[in-house]
């Protein structure tokens, strides 16, 4: 039923949009009067009573006539590409497309793809004063950009602003199609993966100092506006929060980031640095821009694991490669500092992180190896089903004798369970655990 309602609403809007385009072309190429009143000639369909995803978005954002046209222009290549064939009109005198119509060609799509120039042509023709009014629709503070609805892709440096490709975001394309708010999927265009955990805040085992720092981050996420406005710090403080988690592997940095997002209701995205960093000049910055641009107006937490590979120290620029690497670091520094959300960097070696980043962090949190008491809590947390343990299991003794991080304990638990199954037992015994511990210690060249 909802699909039928949305399709009907979009069909009416497409019909209206096509009428608007026809009216503009008639006025521009067939009549002497260019400056026409589109709202009078082609009134927009009423959507107030509609219960469709398209109508809901228009209503939520209180879109005016011009904004609805721009939204439909960006949507049209996805739903009715042939409706834009009219814009492929050629200037017979010059043997090329009309510059005032704009547009660009995709690599495989053979139809017309719109630019800001196309939107200006439809809305105001060649009226210069009104053209400046159209430009306001594409400013950073307009909801098209602020909400991540439309992306402007400037194909080359130095070209006119209105030549930017007008692209509807994948998120809003999906929402217009079925009304669902889709989370972005991991892909070459979005090198980040949503982090989720079945553990809860009570499962987090950290020392009091670390927990205090983590609580500070949670407090900020829950009250950013109040913290800035209540003490009049808006002019001095930027809205984002940047922190670095550092310490040995397996000490809970990734889990803590996931649980911070879970407790405050924010999505945590882990950036895949293998897909971000590129040897080609400019590609790393472009890949990072894809992530930051999509996250800019979302309540997301960006988590950079093994961050020293991307946030490493800058070197003396003795070669073009050094200059390129330093340029990437400088670009990243700017994007991290301007990001209005929370950025968490995780590294095993703090010394490898460029000092310029450290100076701009609101906090640096050291995740040390858990002490004996914390290790015992972790053991009990892993094996909450005590009926699956043999009577000889002594977590207190194991925790006292063997210094292992939480990540290593998970490996031990997995191995112990496998060993019990192979030996056709329904319970895990002390020997299973010790065998697993021995395997973990061997990784560091140690023995039981």
Q: What is the pLDDT of residue 265?
A: 93
Q: What is the pTM of this model?
A: 0.73
Q: Cα separation of 354 and 294, whole Å?
A: 25
Domain spanning 192-366: which CATH class is it, in words? alpha beta
Burial 402-435 (b: 16+ CB within 10 A, else e): bebbbbbbebbbebbeebbeeeeeeebbbebbbe
Strand order, beta sheet including 192-195: 192-195, 267-271, 300-304, 342-347, 241-246, 363-366
Domain with CATH 1.10.8.60 in the chain: 372-443
Which residues have a Cβ under 8 Å from the Cβ of 276 and sit 6 or more positions away? 191, 284, 287, 288, 291, 310
Q: What is the pLDDT of residue 189?
A: 64
Residue 166 near residue 77 (C-beta atoms within 8 A): no
Angle between helices 2-25 and 65-79 (to 10 degrees): 110
Domain with CATH 3.40.50.300 in the chain: 192-366
Q: What is the DSSP letter of 195?
A: E
Q: Which of 25, 19, 70, 21 is nearest to 45 (CA)?
A: 19
Q: What is the pLDDT of residue 39?
A: 93
Q: Cα separation of 210 and 101, whole Å?
A: 58
Q: Which of 354, 194, 329 is nearest to 268 (CA)?
A: 194
Q: What is the pLDDT of residue 187?
A: 65
Which residues have a Cβ under 8 Å from the Cβ of 312 and sit 6 or more positions away? 329, 352, 353, 354
Supply 163's token pair.
């030549």
Q: What is the pLDDT of residue 131?
A: 92
Mark the ranges of the chain whose per-residue pLDDT is less than 50. Answer: 1, 316-317, 322
Going by DSSP bridges, is the β-strand pair 165-168/150-153 parallel, antiparallel, or unpaired?
Answer: antiparallel
Residue 192 near residue 271 (C-beta atoms within 8 A): yes
Q: What is the pLDDT of residue 1?
A: 45
How many angstroms separate the Cα of 298 from the Cα of each of 100, 167, 265?
Answer: 35, 19, 12
Task: Specify the fold of 372-443.
Answer: Helicase, Ruva Protein; domain 3 (1.10.8)
Q: What is the pLDDT of residue 387?
A: 87
Q: What is the pLDDT of residue 49?
A: 58
Classify 345 as helix, strand or coil.
Answer: strand
């Amino acid at each position: 039923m909802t699909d039928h309602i949305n399709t009907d609403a979009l069909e009416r809007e497409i019909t209206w949009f096509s009428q608007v385009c026809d009216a503009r072309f008639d006025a521009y190429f067939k009549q002497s009067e260019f400056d026409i009143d589109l709202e009078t000639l082609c009134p927009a369909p009423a959507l107030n009573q509609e219960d469709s995803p398209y109508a809901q978005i228009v209503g939520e954002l209180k879109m005016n006539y011009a904004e609805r046209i721009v939204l439909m222009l960006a949507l049209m290549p996805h739903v009715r590409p042939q409706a834009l064939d009219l814009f492929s009109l050629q200037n017979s005198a010059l043997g090329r497309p009309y510059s005032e119509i704009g547009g660009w060609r995709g690599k495989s799509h053979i139809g017309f793809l719109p630019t800001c120039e196309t939107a200006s042509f439809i809305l105001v023709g060649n009226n210069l004063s009104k053209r400046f009014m159209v430009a306001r629709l594409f400013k950073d503070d307009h909801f098209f950009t602020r909400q991540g609805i439309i992306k402007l892709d400037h194909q080359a440096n130095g070209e006119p602003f209105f030549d930017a490709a007008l692209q509807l975001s994948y998120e809003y394309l999906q929402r217009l199609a079925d009304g669902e708010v889709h989370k972005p999927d991991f892909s070459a265009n979005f090198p980040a993966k949503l982090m989720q955990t079945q553990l809860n805040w009570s499962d987090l085992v950290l020392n009091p100092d670390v927990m205090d720092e983590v609580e500070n981050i949670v407090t900020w996420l829950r009250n950013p506006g109040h913290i800035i406005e209540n003490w009049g710090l808006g002019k001095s403080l930027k809205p984002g929060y940047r922190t670095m988690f550092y310490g040995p592997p397996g000490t809970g940095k990734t889990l803590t980031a996931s649980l911070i997002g879970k407790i405050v209701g924010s999505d945590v995205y882990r950036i895949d640095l293998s897909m971000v960093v590129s040897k080609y000049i400019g590609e790393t910055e472009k890949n990072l821009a894809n992530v930051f641009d999509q996250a800019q107006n979302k309540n997301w937490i960006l988590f950079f694991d093994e961050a020293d590979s991307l946030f490493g120290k800058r070197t003396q620029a003795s070669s073009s490669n050094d200059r390129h690497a330093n340029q990437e670091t400088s670009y990243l520094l700017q994007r991290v500092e301007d990001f209005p959300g929370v950025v968490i960097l995780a590294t095993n070696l703090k010394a490898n992180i460029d000092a310029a980043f450290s100076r701009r962090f609101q906090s640096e949190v050291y995740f040390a190896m858990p002490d004996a008491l914390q290790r015992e809590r972790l053991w009990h947390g892993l094996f909450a089903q005590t009926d699956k343990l043999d009577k000889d299991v002594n977590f207190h003794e194991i925790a006292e004798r063997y210094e292992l991080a939480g990540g290593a304990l998970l490996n031990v638990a997995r191995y112990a369970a496998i060993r019990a199954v192979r030996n056709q037992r329904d319970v895990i015994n002390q020997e299973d655990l010790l065998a697993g511990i021995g395997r973990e210690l061997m990784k560091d060249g140690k023995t039981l």
